[in-house]
Amino acid sequence: MNCRRKGSATKGNSCASTATRDLWDNLFDRGYRADVTIRTNDGGIIYAHASVLGMASPVLRGMLKQAKGVGHKRLISIHGVQHDAVRVFIRFLYSSCYEQEEMKELVLPLLVLSHAFVVPQLKRICEQQLENSLLTLDNVVDVFQLSLLCDAPRLVLLTHRMILRNIKAVSATEGWIAMKRSHPALEKEILESMIYEEQMEKERIRKFNERKIYLQLYEAMEALVHICRDGCRTIGPCDKDLKDDQKPCTYEACKGIELLVRHFAGCKLRVPGGCIHCKRMWQLLELHSRLCADSGSCRVPLCRNFKDKIKKQFKKDEMKWKVLAKKILSTKRIGGEPYFLSSKSIASY
């Protein structure tokens, strides 16, 4: 048996004892001095107490005020769900307890009853039970529809995601076929949301790959400055004393930039458009000049030359380079680096 901890009449952290809960269960089971008769499906009868029902549910309180009765007993009806579900629901109003097997079997009608009669404690329990263990591919469509009707947004989200992740298996279930027949508009919305999710996933992958490229370009810029300013083992400026036994380089792109620089220095077709490797080197040098914070003292070759060239460039080409530079800086968020401009400064030059 599972019981919701219930505060006692006294203040503090005390809870209702097992004996107290048993007393409430016995009161319900035996119907001692019950003054309410509840009619359910298939002619079922449940006896209860108006004071308990009225305190536990504002909806039942309103029904009892309007109820007609014979003698001292009032009569109300709860239809639309099986008799056992109503019995478990009324019993919960007494002791806040339920049997796990009954919850497993009747969780969906209990969710409906707890919402319809405004019993938030039971509604939360039903939602938690479904989220933790009772949600399956066979019932996920039914739970999705009920969660929409019962104002359970978290359950709507979980079931919707489950449907999208397992659309092939779910679309073959009886629940999906019934929904397709009775609520074709809802089926259409789910399929449209699936297409939207696929598009969003493609967009996320595209942005991830784009960000990866920008990070690689930034690392290449760092490695280029490192080689031209400090030198790295076997390559660097003429005034640096390079040693083979230096510490391992921490710049991941350094080796690739070193090979590119060596090729650029010895290539006979060292003109833009003549050699694909040299063309890449020219582009890196121009990109560096657009990111460089101080071309006057910069050790990277042609940095000042490219700065002067920028002023004579066509507006269209200029905008392309500006956008690229801003995206690299905003991706890495490197504003304030000693040898690169901040992303805000790009727009001003």
* Nearest-10 crossing angle of helices 254-266, 184-229: 60
DSSP string, 22-55: HHHHHHHHHTTT--EEEE-GGG-EEEE-HHHHHH
Same domain, 323 and 215: yes
- Tell me what percent of the residues of the chain surpass a pLDDT of 70: 82
pLDDT confidence of 117, banded at 50, 70, 90? very high
> Looking at 90, 111, 132, which one is the last position of a domain?
111
User: What pLDDT shows up at residue 170?
Assistant: 93
Distance of CA 252 to the CA centre of its chain: 33
Structure tokens given for 153: 């947004």
| Residue 57's CATH number | 3.30.710.10
Q: Which residue has the higher pLDDT, 122 or 247?
A: 122
What is the per-residue pLDDT for 7?
41
Same-domain status, 101 and 219? no
Residue 314 counted as domain residue: yes
Residue 63, C-beta contacts closer than 8 angstroms, at least 6 positions apart = 76
Domain boundary among 83, 111, 139: 111
Q: Confirm whether 301 is domain-assigned.
A: yes
d(C-alpha 80, C-alpha 41), whole Å: 7
Q: Is 12 part of any domain?
A: no
Nearest Cα residue to 326 out of 287, 299, 279, 295? 287
In a domain, 192, yes or no: no
For 242, which DSSP code? -
How is residue 249 annotated by DSSP? Answer: P
pLDDT at position 246? 63
Count of alpha carbons within 13 Å of 149, Cβ hemisphere only?
15
Q: Specify whether 214 is located in the same domain as 334.
A: yes
Overall domain count for the chain:
2
Answer yes or no: is 54 within a domain: yes
Query: Measured between alpha carbons, how far is 36 from 24 in angstroms, rounded to an integer?
Result: 16
Q: What is the DSSP letter of 235?
A: B
CATH label of the domain that carries residue 217? 1.20.1020.10
Final residue before a domain boundary, out of 111, 136, 170: 111
- Number of neighbours of residue 45 by Cβ within 10 angstroms: 11
Residue 182 lies in a domain: no
Q: Which of 218, 217, 219, 223 lies closest to 236, judged by CA?
A: 223
Q: Which two tokens stand for residue 25?
A: 């269960």
Average pLDDT, the chain: 83
pLDDT above 70 for 212: yes
Taking phi over 0 as left and psi of -120 to 50 as alpha, with beta for the rest, 314 belongs to beta
Residue 125 within any structural domain of the chain: no
> What integer pLDDT is reported at residue 242 of this predicted model?
63
- Asked if residue 214 is part of any domain, the answer here is yes
Whether residue 121 has pLDDT greater than 90: yes
The pLDDT of residue 14 is: 36
Dihedrals φ, ψ of 151, to 5°? 55, 60
Mean pLDDT of 172-196: 92
> Strand pairing partners for 70?
73
Which ranges in 153-275 belong to alpha helices (H)?
153-165, 167-170, 174-182, 184-229, 254-266
Give 150-183 pLDDT, tens digit per residue: 999 999 999 999 999 999 999 999 999 999 999 9
User: In which domain, by residue range, is 245 found?
Assistant: 209-340
